[in-house]
Amino acid sequence: MSTIAIGAHVDQTDPIAEATARDAPLVQFFLGNPQSYKGPVVAYEGGAERLRADAEAAGVDLYVHAPYLINVATTNNRQRIPSRKLLQQHMDAAAELGAKGLIVHGGHVTDDDDPAKGFDNWRKAVEATDIKVPLLIENTAGGTNAMTRYLDRIAGVWEAISKADGFEMVGFCLDTCHAHAGGNPLETVVEEVRAITGRIDLVHCNDSRDDFDSGADRHTNFGHGRIDPALLAGVVRDAGAPVIVETPGPADAHVADFAWLRERI
């Protein structure tokens, strides 16, 4: 278990410096404003090509988190069509900088929609996207008609996209805060997700400020939230995948969280 790679979500300006400050072998970051439909921006001096070369030289794996606004499941054309475009733009940018994966939230349909429409929209999105690096779909914390909050909905998405060209490049990112707040017991979530998807490619390990099944996506540092420490460590152990910590604070706070987690795994 000591070989599990642990890194953090960091500022996008200089991910290599952020990784160095945390002695981390991997980092995750946005490419631009996560609350905007504007296309990706590589803030690193020298651009994507230089970032890719510097990351390889430093032995740092890069992961890109897609904007929160992306919702390829929605039945609203004014959201779905720009979401597909933005997903492709971020996929292209992630590939340019040599990212190991592009993480995207599962999205949702309205309360009046049949979830099956969202599942099929996910299939269409996978087929419409030129997937150049692994596309990692992440479970989410809230929403009554979310695509990836509940296990049966994740199963619906996976059943639909399994029929799509490009499916072999789609993976799963398991977020502990989202699972806890979404009402999925951490004691069994790794086994249950694997039974559906066959894989867990990345873990977002975060404590939760809120109670089980609260639907609230509010991360906090390890030991300061509502998740049993043993359960957080158990998810990381059982998943056996690289870990990104998305907890608050600067580098020293993340270093403390890394140490806290390693002590327990």
Digit-coded pLDDT (tens) for 151-201: 999 999 999 999 999 999 999 999 999 999 999 999 999 999 999 999 999
Residue 11 contacts residue 29 (beta carbons within 8 Å): yes
**pLDDT value of position 251:** 98
The 10s digit of each residue's pLDDT in 117-163 is 999 999 999 999 999 999 999 999 998 899 999 999 999 999 999 99
**pLDDT value of position 22:** 98
Q: Which residues are CB-neighbours of 47 under 8 A, at least 6 positions away?
A: none
pTM: 0.98
For residue 16, give the nearest of 31, 3, 29, 33 by alpha carbon: 29
- Domain ranges in the chain? 6-244
- Superfamily for 6-244? Divalent-metal-dependent TIM barrel enzymes (3.20.20.150)
**pLDDT value of position 262:** 97
Residue 157 contacts residue 106 (beta carbons within 8 Å): yes
Phi, psi of 57 (to 5 degrees): -65, -35
**pLDDT value of position 2:** 61
Helix (H) or strand (E) holding 128: helix 115-128
Integer Cα distance of 82 and 67 in angstroms:
12
Residue-wise over 227-255: b if at least 16 C-beta within 10 A, else e?
beeebbbbbbebbebbbbbbbeeebebbb
Q: What percent of the chain lies above the pLDDT cut of 70? A: 99
Phi, psi of 76 (to 5 degrees): -85, 110
Statement: residue 1 has pLDDT above 80: no
Task: Kindly report the average pLDDT of the chain as a whole number.
Answer: 97
Integer Cα distance of 208 and 165 in angstroms:
36
Instruction: Count, in order, helices (H) and strands (E) of the chain.
Output: 9, 10
